[in-house]
Amino acid sequence: PTDRTDATRTDDVKHMKWWGWGVEGVGFRHEDKPGFAPFVQKAIGLDLWAGERTERPDFSRLRVPASTASEEFVAVLSGIVGAGNTVVDDLSRVVHTYGKSLRDLVRIRAGEIARSPDVIVYPADEAEVQSIIDASVEADAVIIPFGGGSNIAGSLEPHMDESRVVVSLDLGRLNRVLEIDPDSGLARVQAGALGPDLEAQLNRDGWTMGHFPDSFTHSTLGGWVATRSSGMQSDKYGDIADIVKGLRVVRAGGVLVIRAVPSASTGPSVREMVVGSEGRLGVITEVTVQVHRLPEKRAIHAYFFKNLDHGLAAMQKIAESDVSPSVTRISDAHETAFSLATSKESKGIQKKAQTGLMAYLKRRGWSLDEMCLSFIGFEGDEAHVKRQKSLVDRIVRKHHGIGVGKGPGALYDQKKFDTPYIRDFLLDRGAAGDVSETAGPWSKLRGIHAAVYEAADRAYEKIGHAGWAMSHMSHSYHSGACLYFTFAFVFGDDPLGEYDIVKRAIQQAFIDAGGTISHHHGVGLEHAPWLEEDISTEGVAIMSGLFGAADPGGNFNPRKIV
Ligand code: FAD
């Protein structure tokens, strides 16, 4: 179905730096944010002015296990894709080993690579994907599809005891929008397209897919589908599960084709089985997605609420009402304090306005330690945006919130893709910063929030370090919403042991309080221990049956999810 002549060259496929997030030379800075160092000192007892504590990762010190792919097998793959599109060098194999979870970053910095893929292959079209898969299954090799390498659920790494040859199948050259059906708003897109490349191609013709995860710049359409991703404008555009209408998935011996129809009653949805399958059902080569005309106007407004209870009640009312914002997000008091601390120094009129606002809120009896910052996004034509905003304003007022205009929202919009760099900044200074997210019904959200804070506090006590937790609610639905937690602490002698204690406590709290183990990060290896408690023993049995029947040799990304 695709034409290979104008495919992107392998040398032009973009990857993140081997040891951290994003591209070389870009990072988080605190010097221009005067509130940040005191904030971090108070939250986790880390002195940022003391500088970096750990050594810069040095590739020459890594011990990369040798490739076990035989020359004959590499020659077979090269025969399919061309010699320059099959690589076995150490740097490429390291780049394709892990995703970007905190566990991955800690291990890569410590030079811990138990098992790397043995060979990386860059097909130019679906026919080449089919040949690679057939040859690999024939040779009983393992195939791990690679998108942007941004997952944080341990979805990519080969199992440390894997004795078979491991092929990392990088979809980076399959990055084109192939066709747009303007009548239906459906676009056929190759699965390896990174967020910015995909949106640029759609925008050129006046369309958008509207899927903007925080990892947008370094993740791919195929990866989003394979992990059941969700973007920050999901309230309007839906999660990836809603956006995907059709699929092409290459399996051993043939292609699974799901034609794009608006809805179907064809038994259990095979489309849904592929969504979230993390490479276990085959390699997604093409996705037909719902696209929308670029909105005439787009605005993100900021609001303050007296406390989280008032704010959550307002978010719930908005979800139940006729209003359809693109973003509804509210930070709890801790995250609000963090956001204010990461703001650049304000000067002149802006500074006066900020000081005036805080004084006004205090006069109204608000405690600045409890107030919560919310962002609500609106999209559409001028009249629609105006009407939506006035409806939201009314709900906000009823819940004693106040609007503070578009300034903070515009700032949030600008820096949203920079925030991921903070984890590397903290690791350079010997501290962990990571996230866990869940979803639960409205009736349980406050309970989940409280349970996670309690669990995190107990975990910090156990490891004996001061720790920090903060949270926001985003991605709302009629029945509930996603709660997203960030946690941080300074490492002691056993970084991963300490990390496990905190991460496990938070995941278990999700389950115990009625939430799911993940709203949008997938399962991989990281969340697999809780899957049975989440979907029941019978649910796991059905899933194991599906993977076992679809892939009897266990060649497709084995041991992930279940
Ligand atoms: P990869 O990491 O390369 O792969 C993930 C899994 O999908 C693997 O199992 C892989 O084998 C499989 N896979 C990849 N491509 C294919 C394919 N074509 N066919 C079959 N299987 C395939 N996620 C969100 O949803 N929302 C967010 O806001 C968000 N923010 C993040 C912020 C940060 C800082 C980080 C580090 C991660 C974030 N994530 C977020 C998680 C991550 O970006 C998503 O899981 C993303 O969907 C992964 O896409 P990828 O292309 O990087 O996939």
* Shortest-distance Cα residue to atom 41 of ligand 1: 151
The answer, yes or no, to whether residue 3 has pLDDT greater than 70, is no
| pLDDT computed for residue 276 by the predictor | 98
Instruction: Please name the residue whose Cα sits nearest to atom 13 of ligand 1.
Output: 223
What is the model's pLDDT at position 356?
Answer: 86
Question: What mean pLDDT value characterizes the chain?
Answer: 95
Asked, for residue 440, whether it belongs to a domain, the answer is no
Report if residue 467 sits inside a domain.
no
- Structural domain including 134 reads 10-20+57-170
Give residue 4's pLDDT.
55
Supply the pLDDT for residue 2. Answer: 43
Same domain for 135 and 229, yes or no, is no
User: Is there a domain that residue 382 lies in?
Assistant: yes
Q: Is 378 exposed, middle or buried (0-12, 13-18, 19+ CB in 10 A)?
A: buried
Catalytic status, residue 499: no
Write out pLDDT tens, residues 373-432: 999 999 999 999 999 999 999 999 999 999 998 877 777 776 777 788 999 999 999 999
Q: Are 235 and 316 in contact (CB under 8 A)?
A: no
Number of domains in the chain: 4
User: What's the mean pLDDT in 20-48?
Assistant: 93
Judgement on whether residues 94 and 112 belong to the same structural domain of the protein: yes
Output the six-digit token pair for 375: 């962002």
- Distance between CA atoms of residues 447 and 470, nearest Å: 15
440 has pLDDT over 90: yes
Mean pLDDT value across residues 135-150: 98
pLDDT of residue 55: 83
pLDDT at 38 (0 to 100): 96
Ligand 1 atom 53: residue of nearest CA: 223
- Res 7: pLDDT: 86
Does 159 reside within a domain? Answer: yes
Distance CA 179, CA 192 (A): 15
Confidence of residue 348 (pLDDT cuts 50, 70, 90): confident
So what's the ipTM on this one?
1.00
Taking CA atoms, 411 is separated from 375, 396, 415, in Å, by 11, 21, 6
Classify residue 436: in a domain, yes or no: no
Q: How far is CA 69 from CA 111, 118, 141, 220, in A?
A: 22, 6, 9, 27
What whole-number distance in Å separates Cα of residue 373 and Cα of residue 127? 50
Instruction: Give tens-digit pLDDT for 290-305.
Output: 999 999 999 999 999 9
Pocket of ligand 1 (CB under 6 A): 21, 99-100, 144-152, 155-156, 171, 191, 213-215, 219-220, 222-224, 226-227, 229-230, 278-279, 283-284, 420, 520-522, 557, 560
Q: Is residue 163 part of a domain?
A: yes
| For the CA of 522, the nearest atom of ligand 1 | 45
Residue 65 CA to ligand 1 centre (angstroms): 25
Which region among 30-39, 168-177, 495-504 has the lowest average model confidence (pLDDT)?
Answer: 30-39
- Shared domain check, 99 and 158: yes
Candidates 122, 303, 484, 499; catalytic one: 484
Residue 1: is its pLDDT beyond 50? no
What's the pLDDT band for 354 if we cut at 50, 70, 90? confident
